[in-house]
Structure 1
Amino acid sequence: MQKIKTGIAFLLLLFFFGCSETANQSESKKGILDLTDFDIHTKTTPLIGEWEFYWNEFLDPSQKSSNLKYVFPRPWNQMEADGKPLSRKGFATYRLNVILSGPADDLVLQVPLLHTAYRLYVDGELVHENGKASPDPNIHKPSYKTQILSIKPKSNRFQIQLNISNYSHRICGMKEIIHLGTFRQINKEYQRKELLTLLGVSWLAFLGAFNICLYYLRRDLKRSLYLGLFCFAVMLPIVTLRDTRILFNLFSDEYCYLIIRLSFVCLPLNLYLGGTVLYSVVADKRFKKTFIVFTYITGIYAFLMLALPDYYLTLVSIPFETGANSMIVCSILYLLFLAFKGHTEVRIYLISFFFAGIIIVHESLFYYNYANKRDWLFFLGLSFFLLPLTSLMFYLVMDAFRKEESAMRELLKSKEDLELRVKDRTGELENANRWKTNLISLLSHDLQSPLVGLKFLLHNIQSKVSPKKEDDVDKLIQMGIGGVDNSIQLIRHLLSISRFDSDSVRLRYEFFSSDDLLEYVNKEVALSSSSKNINIILEDHHPSFIFADKTLLGEVICNLINNSIKFSNANSDLYLIHKREDFKDKFYVIDFGMGMTEDQIRIFNTEGADLQKKAGTLGEVGTGFGLSLSRSILQAHNGSISIVPGRKQGSEFLIQIPVGEKIILIVENSDLYRKECAEEFRKYNWLVIESANGSEALSHLKQFTPHLLLTDVEMPVLGGIELVHEWAAMAEGMNLPILMMSSSAPLFSDKEFLKKEGIDHWVLERFSKLVPVPELVKKMIECLESYRQSKTFLK
């Protein structure tokens, strides 16, 4: 607060001491400016003091008139004739005789806006005409351009004459001051003002864009949007109505009225935007009707400024501009009322309006000729007006984010607690389901053993029965063997289903060689292949280690081979081929049997539908479960199954599973959150292993080392910090990047926490679970990539 008071006092000192710029300048008397004691080549001088003034006369430079008055430069409607103020619409002649101390060479005049058209003569010669100056309002055409005009007086004593007409603005005549000096001095001063204007506009553009960005961060904070638009709306009057008149100077006088309209429209627009910012502070319903009336007034004003003919623009703008002061007074009263009601943030608005009041007082003093225009004071006051409001918006946005972050932490904590309660409540159901699954498994094993024995007995009987005498018996035995095969296959599927749907639904990953897998499959299907004397040829083109569930993957391959045997002729060949291509392990099962139609292949590959059941070459009938179960197992491995089209004889099945190039172990006790993270990592082609707690994760780490470990900090059995310490004790120099996540972690970097827990050597970063999962996973991958560029990544 003390700093604010000091700033206000400093600004007031600048304001009051800054109103005496011309105190030490030479002034003209009786229309004569004596500069014999002034070196015009070292310093510019304003042409202030008494000018000859001829009301309602357009005199030639050599013409005399008895209607002479001596006036200081000011709008002529502030003068009187016969006790009455002069009309703002009219024309007049101004004259000034200048006496220099030396030669009058290399001189220029900096002519500001003279309202609103003029002719400039020096020693009787026309130097420049701005717009179309004329006593006839039909001929008069305004121009708002500022000029730097080179003059060539005939001697060190010369006359300056201005013929000015006005029919289009409430300010009339010579309001702003003309300066005389050399081109270098005048141009330097003009460029300084132009630079100040451009800096002010750039500063407003920055504040406007900053406030609009705050709105996009917090859509509920519409005040920030209105304040940003207010900053942009203030820019147009600055580039049109300040000294440099940048916009008027850029375009020809044909667009003069269009630019005037736009600058007039900015007043109601700024009033509306500023009023909306104030009303939205509290949005008190008692002031709603007042705000609606205020909106209608500014809307009507803006409409009139766009729709009225040029001639009426000034007539209509004067009462509205006067009414704007009343609106500002009402706004201050509204803020005082809110402050009285205890709204603390209103103090910021009162401070801003104090600086706005300084600007208004300064501009009013300038308008009534009690002060000179100070552009730097205007921009300084405008900055002090907007900065507190922008700072307040920034604080509100940051405060909202802090509250939202706190609420999200509580929500996430509640979500985790709810998940734990739901998990406990569903325990009985899971136990019942586990009993069901175990029962299926038990029955399947009990059924499988006698069926295998029965099949072996039937084979023995078949081999001892004479084919010439017992054809019917042989046929019956063959049917029995087929039925037993079908039953055994069904039981194997039941065993796989019981494992795949039970409590151990997560795949049991392990490293194994492709040679071992092929030998295991060949052994499993040996009995089936021998029944038709089918020769299974194994080809391992790329012997390698595979990271998958060996039992389930072997079950899939066995199922496909048994399927191929069923549709193959006796004494034929069947190929089982393994290749590693495109970061995938590929298994081909190729037979030369009955084959499939192109439509069947298309339906299986594109629509994912299973093939219709049909009898094999010896009338064998399948269960219908095999391919469906195989597809589910492969999808759990992020793999696929398809039929290779284009074969003329037989079928070719293709199994593909991704090579474990990127393996991540996710340790998280929340099932929903863990699965959400797992799905997101799979989008980046990661092979995901899931663990519900640190103890389970340690069991995995003892069997294999993943390429990335992602663990939660807070877990019931073994927390993330304890897990890292346990891994560090057993790592033996192995390089494993570790990332942590927590609902209590900050949104930004959390290196201090890692150092405090003594795990910064192992853990790269701790991330906040408040961040949406897709964005969180993206940040984790970026963090890992940065690590990979600086360290050796485990291959």
Structure 2
Amino acid sequence: MVLGTTSCRFDAYPTLLAKDGVLDARSADLSGETINFTGKWEFYWNEFLDPKVESPENKSYLKVGVPWFSQENEDGEVYPSFGFATYRLTVLLPDPPAENQNLALLVPVLHSAYKMYVNGELVAENGVISKTEKNYQPSFHVKIIPLKTLSQKLDLVIHISNFSHKYAGIHGIIRFGKIQNIISIWNVNFTVSWILMIFMLLLSIYYALVYFINRSERNALRMAFVYLGILILTSTLIETRILFNLFSDEYCVTLFRFSRIGFILVMYFGAYILLNMTQVRFFKRMLIFLKLYALTFLLVAMFTPVSNLAKISFYFEFLSTIFVVLGLFSVSLALYFQRKESRLYFFSLLLAIIGGFIDLFLISHPSFGYRPLGLVSLYLFIFPQTLGVTFGLVRVYKRSESLSKELYKRKEALEKKVKARTLELEKANRWKANFVSLISHDLRSPLNSVNQILDVIDFSFNESTEVEKKKFLEICKTGVTQSLRMLEQLLDVSRFDAFGTKLIQTRFSVNDLLNEIIESVEPLATLKGIRIQKDTPIQAEIIADRTLIGEVFKNILTNSIKYSYLNSEVWVGVSYKGKWLSVEIRDRGLGMSEEQIHKLTGEENIKSMPGTAGERGTGLGLQLCMNILEAHFGKLRIKSVLGVGSSFEISLSKSTKSVLLVDDSGNFRSDLAEVMRRNQWIVIEAGNGEEALSHLSRITPTLLITDLQMPGMNGISLIHEWEGRRHKDQKIPIILISSDAPLSGGDKFLEEEGLESIVSAYLSKMYKAEDLCQQIEFILP
């Protein structure tokens, strides 16, 4: 906005300056340029010169671009504001003559009524000129005046009357050139004016909304009126004079009064903010005088006759500098006392005052070559205030966000404690019963065999040969070794059921694992004459807990052998079905009814049926398998026909898109993990940095998500430790999350830690799990 305004207001005089009423523009290129009619024109005070008559010998010269009241005549006297005069300028046009060219003049407001003649012919009339106030009528219209074909010389004569405005005469700059160039200049100025007006209106509404959002921000409401006043000044005082051009001349005086109201709004509410800032008794008393001043000025602007309005308004405007000085003093004290937002107000007011002094200097020294700043001085004041209020809103937002985070943390901690205690009790009770049953179930057979062999050895120790003794000992050793291996596997399984879903996931071959399981149960199948037929045409790899998935395969395969008829067949197949890897185990045996399947997959404990060779079991193995698959977001489907056999289909995700999710909050971690698993992510969970490093030593995930604040090793330490340990080919994206993270920005600390190129994003845990997952997937390439 400042640049747009200054592009219209800062208008340095060009190299072509009129001298003694003549402007030599023969070297100008009218095809792409416009000529500014600046410099010294012929000037005839209190005289309307005949435009068709040559200029008299006794001539006066006056500079245009500044009002005549600020300049002196030959006797050293300053011209008064009210009166009438003639301006005359001879312009020498380029050679060859500018024939058959569409030329025009862009004429700003000439204070404040005029008639314009070109080469002796009347081309424009604005308002009603008069030598007395009686018949005079002002007009503040801006005109584009097309000109007829011109010869090599343009004789411009302007009659001006002024009995209503302090700034009289040719105060603006008249431009001359091709009509398309003139229209282009007008369009730029007109567009900038409307943009400024709309911008001021939006700022006024913005401040009003700030007040209604936070009623304690009373200065915001006052600033809304300040911007409203600037909007009025922008629509009436800048070069395009938007409001004056929209209405006819009969509303000219009304609009002039209206512009004074804009000045009063800016002055009163702006000074009120400044004087009230220091909270000192003297300045509070000055607020009474400010109110009287504003009210009196308002009455003057509304009811004073137009002949006296300009002069009285000028004095009121001059007196307003007293409140500006007091305001600066007040803000200086507020800055000393470190009052709220005093620094912004001090420097913005200082800038505005500097702009005002520049204006006074330029008006009193018109030969300097630049036009006054005008509204730019106000913009220098108001924009820092907008920043101040915006920063205030940001502080309120951050304070609200901080409270929300604190509430979220407390709620999260409370839920975490309640759920953790409940789960610990449930799992402890469940595991206590299940693990004892599992040990009894899986260790009974091999230990019974060892016990029977030892009985044989003890009964016939002396009669047995050395070869037989050695054979019996080898059988016992094999049984004990097998029992120890089973016990070790059961302890691995205990990780899962004793402590919840604590998976140690790796990437492994399903075919290799099945081969190992089939080899371990082959002796059991051989005793019953059962053939294990394997059909694995694909080489499948998955990410899962190898030990636990192996326990699932072993348990189901063992049960299939257990309930198969003698000399039958068990079939094992591996295939892909959509997004799933399917491992199917079919047997030919006793089979189950729908009721038995329902009970088997339910929560209640059931008594195990004996196998086809009288084998016994606990009935708990299948429930454990389903729990393991549930932890992997897998599925188990059972189909069976009584007397024919059963089919067990194990479905596991074939996705290798894995994420290591590290967070000490179990609730948050489980919620986000569940959403990510629904989006086909293999989620590896860790509750702290040490556990995460343990996972990273076995598997390199596709993505690492870690909480910033964790007990022990926090997220920053984890990232540094991982970066120090990893190989060059183990580069993975890292996303940092935290309850303290703002919803946007706030990641400068990553630069201090040297992690700005390592951490892909810093996200807030305040988002819903679904939204956070969506952001994470959007960030990843």
TM-score by length of 1: 0.53
1:349 counterpart = 2:349? no
- Whichever residue aligns with residue 758 of structure 2, its letter is L
* Residue 665 (structure 1) aligns with: 660
Structure 2 CA distance for partners of 1:101 and 1:278, relative to 1, 3 Å? closer
Once the two structures are superposed, what CA deviation does each residue of 1:577-602 show, in whole Å capped at 9, x if it has no partner? 432355532345789999989xxx9x
Q: Distance in 1 between matches of 2:496 and 2:508?
A: 20
Q: Residue 681 of structure 2 is aligned with which of 683, 686, 694? A: 686
Structure 1 residue 442, shift from structure 2 partner = 1.6
* Residue 539 (structure 2) aligns with: 543
Secondary structure of the residue aligned to 1:377 is coil
Secondary structure of the residue aligned to 1:50 is strand
Secondary structure of the residue aligned to 1:507 is coil
Once the two structures are superposed, what CA deviation does each residue of 1:673-696 show, in whole Å capped at 9, x if it has no partner? 655664575576432222334544
1:96 counterpart = 2:86? yes
Counterparts of 1:280-679 in structure 2, within 5 Å, are 333=326, 336-337=329-330, 339-340=332-333, 342-344=337-339, 345-357=341-353, 375=371, 377-378=373-374, 381-386=377-382, 388-389=384-385, 430=424, 434=428, 437-443=431-437, 445-446=439-440, 500-515=496-511, 539-550=535-546, 552-553=548-549, 577-587=573-583, 633-640=628-635, 655-669=650-664, 671=666, 675=670, 678=673
Structure 1 residue 637, shift from structure 2 partner = 1.6
Structure 2 CA distance for partners of 1:253 and 1:570, relative to 1, 3 Å? farther
Secondary structure of the residue aligned to 1:243 is coil
- Whichever residue aligns with residue 349 of structure 2, its letter is F
- Whichever residue aligns with residue 356 of structure 1, its letter is A
Structure 1 residue 735, shift from structure 2 partner = 2.5
Gap regions ≥5 residues in structure 1 = 1-14, 27-33, 64-69, 77-87, 455-493, 786-795
* Residue 144 (structure 1) aligns with: 141
- Whichever residue aligns with residue 656 of structure 2, its letter is E
Residues 190 and 244 of structure 1 are in contact (CA less than 8 Å); yes or no, is this contact kept in structure 2? no
1:747 counterpart = 2:747? yes
Residues 363 and 373 of structure 1 are in contact (CA less than 8 Å); yes or no, is this contact kept in structure 2? no
Structure 2 CA distance for partners of 1:438 and 1:661, relative to 1, 3 Å? same
Once the two structures are superposed, what CA deviation does each residue of 1:233-277 show, in whole Å capped at 9, x if it has no partner? 84674465222446877x796999899999788667756985797
Q: Distance in 2 between matches of 1:279 and 1:640?
A: 74
Residues 116 and 156 of structure 2 are in contact (CA less than 8 Å); yes or no, is this contact kept in structure 1? no
Q: Distance in 2 between matches of 1:201 and 1:710?
A: 47
Q: Distance in 2 between matches of 1:328 and 1:93?
A: 28
Gap regions ≥5 residues in structure 2 = 1-8, 28-36, 54-59, 70-80, 449-489, 612-616
Q: Distance in 2 between matches of 1:112 and 1:741?
A: 61
* Residue 50 (structure 1) aligns with: 44
Counterparts of 1:172-187 in structure 2, within 5 Å, are 175-177=169-171, 183=177
- Whichever residue aligns with residue 579 of structure 1, its letter is S
* Residue 471 (structure 1) aligns with: none
* Residue 128 (structure 1) aligns with: 124
Q: Distance in 2 between matches of 1:202 and 1:189?
A: 20
Once the two structures are superposed, what CA deviation does each residue of 1:539-593 show, in whole Å capped at 9, x if it has no partner? 4342323322356546767899999999999999997643235553234578999
Q: Residue 695 of structure 2 is aligned with which of 664, 689, 700? A: 700
* Number of aligned residues: 653
Once the two structures are superposed, what CA deviation does each residue of 1:169-191 show, in whole Å capped at 9, x if it has no partner? x6499544476786489979995
Counterparts of 1:46-125 in structure 2, within 5 Å, are 47=41, 49-52=43-46, 96=86, 98=88, 111-114=107-110, 119-121=115-117, 125=121
Secondary structure of the residue aligned to 2:730 is coil
- Whichever residue aligns with residue 515 of structure 1, its letter is N
- Whichever residue aligns with residue 86 of structure 2, its letter is L
Secondary structure of the residue aligned to 1:515 is helix
- Whichever residue aligns with residue 753 of structure 2, its letter is F
Q: Distance in 2 between matches of 1:363 and 1:162?
A: 27
Q: Distance in 2 between matches of 1:655 and 1:236?
A: 77
Secondary structure of the residue aligned to 2:748 is coil
Residues 507 and 549 of structure 1 are in contact (CA less than 8 Å); yes or no, is this contact kept in structure 2? yes
Structure 2 CA distance for partners of 1:261 and 1:558, relative to 1, 3 Å? farther
Q: Distance in 2 between matches of 1:101 and 1:139?
A: 30
- Whichever residue aligns with residue 540 of structure 2, its letter is S
Q: Distance in 2 between matches of 1:143 and 1:736?
A: 71
- Whichever residue aligns with residue 353 of structure 1, its letter is L
Residues 349 and 381 of structure 2 are in contact (CA less than 8 Å); yes or no, is this contact kept in structure 1? yes
- Whichever residue aligns with residue 145 of structure 1, its letter is V
1:765 counterpart = 2:755? no
Counterparts of 1:195-234 in structure 2, within 5 Å, are 198=192, 234=230
Residues 705 and 736 of structure 2 are in contact (CA less than 8 Å); yes or no, is this contact kept in structure 1? yes
Once the two structures are superposed, what CA deviation does each residue of 1:31-80 show, in whole Å capped at 9, x if it has no partner? xxx74x775768744557434468xxxx99999xxxxxx9999799xxxx
Once the two structures are superposed, what CA deviation does each residue of 1:378-431 show, in whole Å capped at 9, x if it has no partner? 3653454346546656877898999999x8999799989989x979x9899958
* Residue 84 (structure 1) aligns with: none
Secondary structure of the residue aligned to 1:737 is coil
Residues 585 and 657 of structure 1 are in contact (CA less than 8 Å); yes or no, is this contact kept in structure 2? yes
Q: Distance in 1 between matches of 2:646 and 2:269?
A: 74
Once the two structures are superposed, what CA deviation does each residue of 1:133-175 show, in whole Å capped at 9, x if it has no partner? 9999999896622345647899989784648799xxx649954
Q: Distance in 2 between matches of 1:643 and 1:280?
A: 81
Residues 96 and 159 of structure 1 are in contact (CA less than 8 Å); yes or no, is this contact kept in structure 2? no
Structure 2 CA distance for partners of 1:152 and 1:680, relative to 1, 3 Å? same
Structure 1 residue 747, shift from structure 2 partner = 1.3
- Whichever residue aligns with residue 346 of structure 1, its letter is S
Residues 693 and 718 of structure 1 are in contact (CA less than 8 Å); yes or no, is this contact kept in structure 2? yes
Q: Distance in 2 between matches of 1:651 and 1:262?
A: 94
Residues 534 and 573 of structure 1 are in contact (CA less than 8 Å); yes or no, is this contact kept in structure 2? yes
Residues 533 and 570 of structure 2 are in contact (CA less than 8 Å); yes or no, is this contact kept in structure 1? yes
Identity of aligned residues (%): 24
* Residue 490 (structure 1) aligns with: none
Structure 2 CA distance for partners of 1:294 and 1:636, relative to 1, 3 Å? farther
Structure 1 residue 127, shift from structure 2 partner = 1.4
Provide the alpha-carbon RMSD of the alignment: 8.0
